[in-house]
Amino acid sequence: MAAPSSNTCGLTERSIRERVPPLLTDLYQVTMAYAYWRTGRHQEPAVFELFFRNNPFGGGFTLFAGMQDCLLFLRSFHFTDEDVEFLRSVLPPATDPAFFQFLRGLDCSGVTLRAIPEGTVVFARVPLMEVAGPLAVVQLLETSLLCLVNYASLVCSNAARFRLAAGPKRKLLELGLRRAQGPDGGLTASRYTHIGGFDFTSNVQAGFQYGVPVAGTMAHSYVTSFTSLEEVLPKTLVAVNGDSTPVDIILLTKGWLSRVCELLGSQPGKIHEGELAAFLSYAIAYPQNFLPVIDSFSVGCSGLLNFCAVALALCELDYKPLGVRLDSGDLCRQSLEVRRVFRLCSKHFCVSAFDSLTIVGTNNITEQSMAELNEKENEIDVVGVGTHLVTCTQQPSLGCVYKVMLF
Amino acid sequence: MAAPSSNTCGLTERSIRERVPPLLTDLYQVTMAYAYWRTGRHQEPAVFELFFRNNPFGGGFTLFAGMQDCLLFLRSFHFTDEDVEFLRSVLPPATDPAFFQFLRGLDCSGVTLRAIPEGTVVFARVPLMEVAGPLAVVQLLETSLLCLVNYASLVCSNAARFRLAAGPKRKLLELGLRRAQGPDGGLTASRYTHIGGFDFTSNVQAGFQYGVPVAGTMAHSYVTSFTSLEEVLPKTLVAVNGDSTPVDIILLTKGWLSRVCELLGSQPGKIHEGELAAFLSYAIAYPQNFLPVIDSFSVGCSGLLNFCAVALALCELDYKPLGVRLDSGDLCRQSLEVRRVFRLCSKHFCVSAFDSLTIVGTNNITEQSMAELNEKENEIDVVGVGTHLVTCTQQPSLGCVYKVMLF
C-alpha cells in the first residue's frame, strides 16, 4: 500500500477551498440568508439534519461517507471580497449594503456538527449529520454539505455492494477515473470505493492524496505500438542472483516460445510478433512486475503463448512474473483456459512461479456480473471495475436532504 | 445574465492545476511511459484520436464539450518534485532514476491539439480531438483528457435533449449541484448544460466563474421556518414611486387576502399564517423579486391565496411580483389552476402585472416528463431540472476512448 505523502493532509485542506468555494451553492441559499437577515432572524439558533429517505440500489443499507470533507469545508468557509462583490452583482440593486458586510465577516465558528462516524452502515431517515448554528449560516451550508455527502456515500455504498457480490477472496480494483463526472468525481470515487471495500485504484492522485494502494500495468495501445522484435531495446537482462553477465532475453524467450507451442500444440505462425516485442520490452523494464494485457489479438493463439514464453524466460533468470489481464470476451471461460495452461507449464517445465500467477479481469463489470462470477466456474483473482462502479448506473444519485429540525 | 467576474479567467486557469494535477491519471500511463522510455521510444512521434463509438441516450447526436479545460490542462501539465517523489515510491525500486529526471522536465510544449470547436454537434467514431506529440507525453495525457471530455460532452448532450424536449419557448433552469458527483461534477454540469441550452443555473459559482446566469429564490425550509405574522420585521414597505411614507404591508396584505378569499370562495381559516409571514418577509426583502414556492402546505387552500394577497399588496405599491414555484404533485394540473386564479385576479382587481406572472415547475423532471409537458395542457413557463440532468440517469457515461493512430 502506498502511504499518503506527508504533505497531503495539508494538500487536502488547501484544496477544499478550491474545490468547494462558498459560492458553490444554490442561489436561493443566499437570497434566503438575506431575507432572514432583513427580518433580523439570521442569528436565531437553528438545527438542520442531513439524511436520505431510501437506501440506494433497492438495497438494505448505505455507508455514510464525505464527513471529513464536510469538516474541512466548514473550517475553510468564508466569503472573500471577490465573492461578495459577485453576490452584489447578482442580488437586486435594492439589497441593503450592510448585508454584504455581514457576509464578509461570516465563518462557521458558531456552527456545531454532530455526525455518525465516516464509513458507518446507516439506514434511511436516520440523521447522518446534525448541523446547529446561526440560522443564516447553517442555511448557507446546505447545498455544499449535500454535494459532499450525497455522491461520497452513494459510491461508497456501491463499492460495498460490489465487495459483497465479489466475496471476501477476490481482490477489487477501481478504474473509473475516465468515466466519472469530471476530475473531482473521479478522485472522490477512488477515495470512497476504497473505504467501501475496494483493494486498489488505478488513480495515482488517490494514492498520493489519500494513501489508496494504486495498481496498473499496460493498455492495448502499448501492445499495438510495437510491430517487430527489432524495436526491443535493450535486448538483454541480468539474472536476479548470481551471474551478472547480460543474457539475450530475446533469444531466451524465442527458445521458450518454441517449447510452449510444442507443449500446447499451437502454431507459431499465428503468434503476433509485435505483441511479443511489447511483452519483452515491458518485462525488461519491469522484470519483477510483469503483468501484460493478453487479449490485444487472440488470447489462445498469441497473447497467452507470448506471456508464457516471456514469463518462463524471466523465471529462468529468477524473476517472478505476476500474471495477466483479460479485458474482453467471456472472462470466465478464458480464465479457465489460461489457468489450465499455467498449470500445464508449471508441471511440464517445473516452474512453481506459474502456480501463483494472478489473473485480472476487466470488462464492463456490473454488480450483477460480479455476482455471477461466484456461480460460474472461473479463475479470476482480481476484478477491475470502472463505469458501473463510479457512475452508479443502477441509481446515480442518493437523494440526501437537509431539513430544518428546530428554530 | 451575470457576466463572469473579470478575474475568473485567471481563476479557471489557476484552478486547473488543482483540479487536474498530472497524477490524476491511471497508473498504467506512467508504467507504460517508463517502458517506452526504457526502450528509447519515448520521443517517437505519435498521434492519438479521442472519439466515442455510440451516441448517448440512444440518440442521434452528441455535443462536444470540455476542450477549453483540455487546453488549460495541457498548458499547466508538469510534474512537481513532490509528484515525482510519489511516483518513485509507487514504481518498482529497480526503476532507472534517470526516468524520474525525465518526468520532472516534461511539459506539453511538443504536443499539438487539433479539435472540433467546443459545442459542435458530433457523431460516433468521428475524432473529436487529435493529440500529436512525443509518445510518452501523449500517452500520459490519456486519462485526464478522457475525464475532461467524457462527462462534459455527456451532460452537454443531455441538456440539449432536454432543450429539444422542452421546445424553444420554455425557459430551463439547472439545479443539480447537490446531486452531482462532488463539487467539480456539479460545476461542470452547470457550465456545460448552459452550453447545451439551459437558460439559468442555481449554482452561484458557475455564474462567478463562467458567467452562466443564476436564478433562485427560496426553499420550503424558509417557508416552514415562520409560524406567525409576529415574526415579520420590518412590517412596512415604501411604495416605488411617489409617497415615501412607509405603508403597513401586513395590514395591506390582510385586506387583499380577504378580497382574494371572497373572490375565490376560499376559507380564510385554512390559510397557513406562517406561510403568509414567510411570503411577506421575503417580499419586504425583495419587493421587485417576489417568487415564492407555494406548495409547502396546500397550493389551493393556502400557498396560492397567500401569494395573491402579498403580490396584490406589492402591486398596490407599484412593485411587480415575478411569479410562483411549484415543487410537488401534478405540476401541469396545478399550473392551470394557478394561471386561472392569476387571470381572475387580473380581471377582477384590474392588475395587469398578474397577466405576466411566471410559473416555475421543479419536481424530479426527466427528459420524458419534459416532453410530456408539450402534450399535456399546462401553464409552466420555467422548468427546473436537477438529478436526471446532471447524473444523466438514462446513460451515466459516454465512453470516449483515446486510440493511437500513428507511431
Measured between CA atoms, the residue of chain A closest to residue B214 is: A27
Residue matched to cell numbers 517449447:
A259
Is the predicted pLDDT of residue B1 greater than 70, yes or no? no
B10 falls in which pLDDT band (50, 70, 90)? low
Cβ-defined contact of B147 to A186 (cutoff 8 Å): yes
pLDDT of B139 > 80? The answer is yes
Check CB contact under 8 Å for A182 and B205.
no
Asked if residues B152 and B192 have their Cβ atoms less than 8 Å apart, the reply is yes
**In terms of pTM, does the model score above 0.80?**
yes
pLDDT of residue A8: 61
- Helix and strand numbers (H, E) in chain A are 15, 13
* Chain A environment of B250 (Cβ under 8 Å): none
Q: In Å, what is the CA distance from B386 to each residue of B161, B176, B203?
A: 14, 4, 11
Cβ <8 Å between A32 and B86: no
pLDDT-based confidence at residue B3 (cuts at 50, 70, 90): very low
pLDDT of residue A10: 66
Q: Measured between beta carbons, which residues in chain B are less than 8 angstroms from residue A282? A: 35
Supply the pLDDT for residue B15: 80
Cα separation, A52 vs A395, whole angstroms: 14
- The CA distance from A350 to the nearest CA of chain B, in Å, is 27
Q: Are B330 and B379 in contact (CB under 8 A)?
A: no
Distance between CA atoms of residues A138 and A293, nearest Å: 51
Name chain A contacts of B292, Cβ cutoff 8 Å.
Answer: none
Contacts of B391 in chain A (CB under 8 A): 181, 391, 396-397
At position A27, the amino acid (one-letter code) is L
Is B218 an interface residue toward A (CB < 8 Å)?
Answer: yes
Per-residue pLDDT at B43 exceeds 90 = yes
**C-alpha span between A207 and A205 (Å, rounded):** 5
**CA dihedral over B339, B345, B348, B353, signed as positive or negative:** negative
Cβ-Cβ contacts under 8 Å, B184 against chain A: 19, 181-185
Q: Distance (Å, rounded) from C-alpha A130 to C-alpha A165?
A: 33
- Residue A2 is predicted with a pLDDT of 41
Q: In terms of CA atoms, which chain B residue is nearest residue A187?
A: B24
Contacts of A393 in chain B (CB under 8 A): 396-397
pLDDT for B201-223, tens place per residue? Answer: 999 999 999 999 999 999 999 99
Q: Do B26 and A217 touch (CB under 8 A)?
A: no
The CA distance from A116 to the nearest CA of chain B, in Å, is 20
Q: Which amino acid is at A201?
A: T
Joined together, the cell numbers standing for residue B391 give: 447524473
Interface of B with A in 250-309 (CB under 8 A): 281-282, 284-289
DSSP state of B287: T
pLDDT tens digits for range B154-200: 999 999 999 999 999 999 999 999 999 999 999 999 999 999 999 99
- Disruptive mutation site among A8, A28, A140, A393 for chain B (greatest number of B CBs within 10 Å): A28
Mean per-residue pLDDT over chain A, rounded: 95
Instruction: Give how far A308 is from chain B: nearest CA, Å.
Output: 20
| Residue pair B70/B145 in contact by the 8 Å Cβ criterion | yes
Per-residue pLDDT, B235 = 96
Beta-strand pair A62-63/B200-201: unpaired
CA distance B191 to B205: 10
State the Cα–Cα distance between residues A309 and A260, nearest whole angstrom.
Answer: 7
Nine cell digits for residue A166 = 465479489
Indicate the pairing of strand A200-201 with strand A129-134.
unpaired
Using CB atoms, which residue from A142, A204, A222 is nearest to B23? A204
Residue that has been written with the C-alpha cell 420585521 in this structure: B233
Judged by CB atoms closer than 8 Å, whether chains meet at B179 and A150 is answered as yes
| CA angle, residues A166, A168, A173, in degrees to nearest 5 | 60
Whether B195 and B63 have beta carbons less than 8 Å apart is answered as yes
Handedness of CA B263, B264, B270, B271 (dihedral sign): negative
Q: Grid cell 395573491 — which residue?
A: B308
Residue B2 pLDDT more than 50? no
Chain A, residues 15-54, CB within 8 A of chain B, namely 15, 18-21, 23-32, 34-36, 38-41, 46, 48
Find the mean pLDDT for residues B292-312.
Answer: 98
Question: What is the model's pLDDT at position B31?
Answer: 97
Q: What is the ipTM of this complex?
A: 0.95
Query: pLDDT digits over B16-42, tens only?
Result: 888 999 999 999 999 999 999 999 999
Residue A266 backbone phi and psi in degrees, to 5 = -90, 160
Percent pLDDT > 90 in chain B is: 93
Asked if residues B202 and A26 have their Cβ atoms less than 8 Å apart, the reply is yes
> Residue B256 forms beta bridges with which residues?
none
Q: Which of A316, A309, A314 is nearest to A288 (CA)?
A: A314
Stretch 237-256 of chain B: residues touching chain A, C-beta under 8 Å: none
CB B209 within 8 A of CB B11: yes
pLDDT at residue B376 greater than cutoff 90: yes
Please give the angle made by the CA atoms of A262, A266 and A272, to the nearest 5 degrees: 115
Half-sphere exposure for B170 (CA within 13 Å, toward CB): 23
Which residues in chain B have their CB less than 8 angstroms from residue A83's CB? 208
Of all residues in chain B, the one with the smallest CA distance to A148 is: B182
Counting as low any pLDDT under 50, the low residues of chain A are: 1-3, 6
Judged against a pLDDT cut of 60, whether residue B45 lies above it is answered with yes
Query: What is the C-alpha separation between A317 and A251, in angstroms, rounded?
Result: 13
Interface contact B188, partner A, CB < 8 A? yes
Our CA-based measurement puts residue B248 at a distance from the nearest CA of chain A, in whole angstroms, of 15
Rounded-to-5 percentages of helix, strand, coil across chain A: 50, 15, 35
